Each structure stands twice: as C-alpha cells, then as structure tokens.
Amino acid sequence: MSLGFEKAGFEVVAAFDKWEKSNAVYRENFAHPIFEQDLTDEETAIEKIRPFSPDMIIGGPPCQDFSSAGKRDITLGRADLTYHFANIVCSIKPEWFVMENVEQIKKSHILTDVIEQFSEAGYGLTSIILDASYCGVPQARTRFFLIGHLNDKHNQLTGIIKKSLSPTPMTVRDYLGDQLGIDHYYRHPRNYSRRGVYSLDEPSPTVRGVNRPVPKGYKLNSCDPDNIDLQQIRPLTTVERSWIQTFPQDFKLSGTKTDLEQMIGNAVPVNLATFIAKSIREYISAGAVSVQAQQTLFEDEMLFHLPNRSLNKISISLKQLRL
C-alpha cells in the first residue's frame, strides 16, 4: 500500500508493522522509517504515530480470520486488529483513512461496529469491493476498501472509483507480455476438485501465501485448459508472483522463500493501492477546483462567503502513514 500511494504522489512519512522479517524487506525499499510495533498496544502505537501528524492513515488489518483461506472465525483472533485500527484512527483523527480487507469482512459484525465508530467520529465513508483485474492488476483478486474523509458526506468517492474502472479485466499477458516464456502455469488449488492450470491470457487467480510445485501424479481437472502437457507446466517463481502483485521488477526481496511467499501473498497489489490513491487525489483536486471557482465568484461578484474549512483544501499538504 505504501508503494502504491507513493506512485500516486503521496508522501509516506512512516510505517508500522509487527513482523520484523517483513520490516527488513521494507527498509531495503523505502527511505522513510518503519517501526516494529504491535498495534494491539494502542497506547504506545498512538504515542509513536501522533508526532508525525499524518493527514492520512492507511492499512490492512490482518484478514486471515475473515478470509476463505483462513480460520473463518470472525469473533476472535487477528480480526480484533480491525478494532485496534479503528481505535487508533479515531484517536489520531487524520483527515483521511483507508482500510483494506477481504470481502468476507462484510459478513462480520466487526465491520458494522467500526463503521458506526468511524461515523460517530465524524468520518464520511465510502465502502466498495473491487476486483483488482479492473484496476490495473493482472489478477482476479477481490478486496474490500473503506475510505473515510473527516467532516464529509458518505459515498462521496463512489462515482470517481466506478468511472475509473477498466472496461475489461487485465490478463497476465497484458501486463507482462511474453516475459515469462510460458503460455500456462500451475497454481496449487485449495482442493483437487478445482483447477490448477491457468493461461497467461486471463487474469491470475488470487496470489496466496502458498506456492507449491506440481504434485507427482497430478491429473488435469475437467476445468483445466484442454491440450495441456503437464511436463511443460511449472508454478510461477517467487519473483514472478511479486510481478503479478505489480511490485516493480527492481523491488528488492530478501529472506527465506517461505517468508517471501507469505509477504507477497499478504500484500495489497501495488497498482490496486495506486488506483485507490488516485481516486482520492481526484476527489481532493475536484474540491480544490470547486473552491477556487467559488473564490473567483466571490472576488468578482461578492456573492459567496467561503468557510475556512473549504479554503484549506486549496493548499492541503498530504502525507500518508501506513499501519
């Protein structure tokens, strides 16, 4: 998410994450600091975050408890980090926040609780489920986003986001061309009643934190592509999977294969984060243009009195803080 927002022109000032192995990779790729911090310790986290005076806080509270690949426990475990995220945001009160999660969170009472909390704190909210393949990512990854803007109305960004979607999904070949040197690849299914072979001429399935070779004795499923020679099929490499997540090819990856696969699978695709960030920038820019137009009318015809809150949007300086 940090890289995606940087690509859209936001200044990242700091990051916070508990997993030190991923923090080490983060430090190799960013100039701003990242702090090892358990966000369940809200008091300490808030003390560390507040001095940065962020205009925006973005984050993806770990979603395994909501995920179809996880424990499906929406009352206990790491799902509680969604509450901690909301508590931190409502304490710091940045002008904006962005929260990412799997779409299954919409079935949880936790989402209802934090939406009520954000609303009571004065945030206008936009919620949307996006398929990343319509947002510049060669992957059919579906994710939920909740965007908050302080002292605003609800659903203000919905129109901007929807009009920016691509009319067609992006395929792996659209994004990488023939760089992989293959036409098909193996992605280990959750069970063998599902397909395991995919074509470059379609979006990749969701990149998960697991990457296994083709099992001995694997037989093509009825839903696999026809005329496939399994002897020519391989899984994508760790680095290739980072490309499917739209990490740049010069992004530095270091650590064990197991850890890197988990980091890559857990990440928000860079271009999906950029898509959200650009939508926010467009909304801000439209507000600034509107204010400037009203200011011109005020100067020319003395018709309008503009509140300072609106005028502040003209010169707003955006910073971004990842949790």
Catalytic residues: 63
Q: What are phi and psi of 229, to 5 degrees?
A: -95, 105
Three-class SS state of 75:
coil
**Is the CA virtual torsion 101, 102, 106, 107 positive or negative?**
negative
How many Cβ atoms sit within 10 Å of the Cβ of residue 97?
28
Instruction: Give the side-chain half-sphere CA count within 13 A for 61.
Output: 28
Q: Is 133 exposed, middle or buried (0-12, 13-18, 19+ CB in 10 A)?
A: buried
Q: How many residues does the chain have?
A: 323
Which element (helix H / strand E) includes 238?
Answer: helix 238-244
Cβ neighbours of residue 162 closer than 8 Å, sequence gap 6 or more: none
The helix-helix angle for 81-92 and 42-49 (nearest 10°) equals 40
Q: Angle CA(246)–CA(251)–CA(254) in degrees, nearest 5?
A: 120
Report how far residue 5's alpha carbon sits from residue 147's, in angstroms, rounded to the nearest whole number: 14
